[in-house]
Structure 1
Amino acid sequence: MATSNDIKNGTVIKIDGQLWSVTEFQHVKPGKGGAFVRTKMKNVVTGKTVDKTYNAGAKIETANVDRRDFQYLYQDGADFVFMDLSDYDQLTVSPVVVGDAKNYMLENQNVQIALHEGEPLYLELPASVVLEITYTEPGLQGDRSTGGTKPATVETGAEIHVPLFLNAGVKVKVDTRTGDYLGRVND
């Protein structure tokens, strides 16, 4: 069992049967009273964030989370199938765990999956991916009522906003965290 002095960014702590990942921490030594650790934690499953304070030296229960590289193979009904790149075992992941990452995943794309006791907790995609626009309306010259952007559907089925001059068949770079258009990609 660890103590609050061992807390660092990325540490996963088990509280009331739930897993929380430390996103920020600060060791505080006030002039009066005992030292403590102030943390900001994110629930690994739900994404909810909370602030929690621990007294210095308080016992905490850490969880062993294994982040491994996988390759996305295909969608099987509602579930997603991935292959572990180290031993080639296949892992079926539910759509709840995959979440919005499905909007940016193409077959044979590498992702990181965090596992706790063999159960997938969440996916980590690369910061950006290259996707092809499959459908978009033609942009009208001089139309600035939408800020110079228009909706476009990419090959995964997700809808993003792109500049007016882009047409179907063009490959674009998309931020996987926000879904924002980052630029055009030339082959």
Structure 2
Amino acid sequence: MKINGNEIKPGHLIEHAGGLWAAVRTNHVKPGKGGAFNQVELKNLRDGTKLNERFRATETVERFTLDQKDHQFLYAEGETLVFMDNETFEQLELAADFVGDRAAFLQDGMKVTVESYEDTPIGIRLPDYVVLAIREADPVVKGQTATSSYKPAIMENGIRVMVPPFIEAGERILVDTNDILYVRRAD
């Protein structure tokens, strides 16, 4: 679907300069001299590069949507992650680099959403929160409990997270996978 350059809003997905881009920020500018334009910060969906571009109201761009399918994480085999489509039961193999640092949060049987454009995977969305056990936690430093201080801890997946002083090794916690932050103790 074609849209005018001044209609681009944050979150829109557009085709521009031979690539697939997500609009991160927009700013409508009306200079004292010349015509108005829309200053748009774009992020490439394939490689993550950023671009600042000006779009005038007379320019048109192609807006698109991503296909989203639910998959289940099966296992990791070397540098390859294997997922199964929940509807067709077909297996999809993706490079671990495709998921990036968040691959450490994948757990057997975890449901994820694979986003694709024209049957080519573009991105993957993990659940916002996962439950993990603490493998190591630093001891509490006496006198630190009066303030809301946090201490470093290592989770079972090897990732370091800051936790409150009352969390000890062996406890299970809820972790935000987007920001890699402690949320609360798991039930």
TM range (shorter): 0.7 to 0.9
- The separation in 2 between residues aligned to 1:31 and 1:131, in whole angstroms, is 56
Q: Which runs of 5+ in 2 are unaligned?
A: none
Alignment of 1:7-156 (within 5 A): 7-26=8-27, 33-133=34-134, 135-137=135-137, 139-140=139-140, 142=142, 144=144, 148-156=149-157
CA displacement 1:123-182 (0-9 Å, x = unmatched): 22232222122x11451451639x743332223232212223222221111111221111
C-alpha distance 37-137 of structure 1, shift in aligned 2 (>3 A): closer
- Paired residues, number: 184
CA contact (8 A) 1:97 1:120 kept: no
Indicate the residue corresponding to 1:164 in structure 2: 165
**Pairwise CA distance, 1:103:** 2.3
TM norm structure 1:
0.81
TM norm structure 2:
0.81
C-alpha distance 144-45 of structure 1, shift in aligned 2 (>3 A): farther
**Pairwise CA distance, 1:79:** 0.9
C-alpha distance 137-129 of structure 1, shift in aligned 2 (>3 A): closer
CA displacement 1:8-46 (0-9 Å, x = unmatched): 433322333322111233555668643433322112133
Q: Secondary structure at the match of 2:144?
A: coil
% same residue: 34
The residue type equivalent to 1:14 in the other structure is E
CA contact (8 A) 2:20 2:46 kept: yes
- The separation in 2 between residues aligned to 1:34 and 1:144, in whole angstroms, is 58
Superposition RMSD in Å: 2.7
Structure 1 moving runs of 4+ over 4 Å: 26-33
Indicate the residue corresponding to 1:178 in structure 2: 179
CA contact (8 A) 1:139 1:165 kept: no
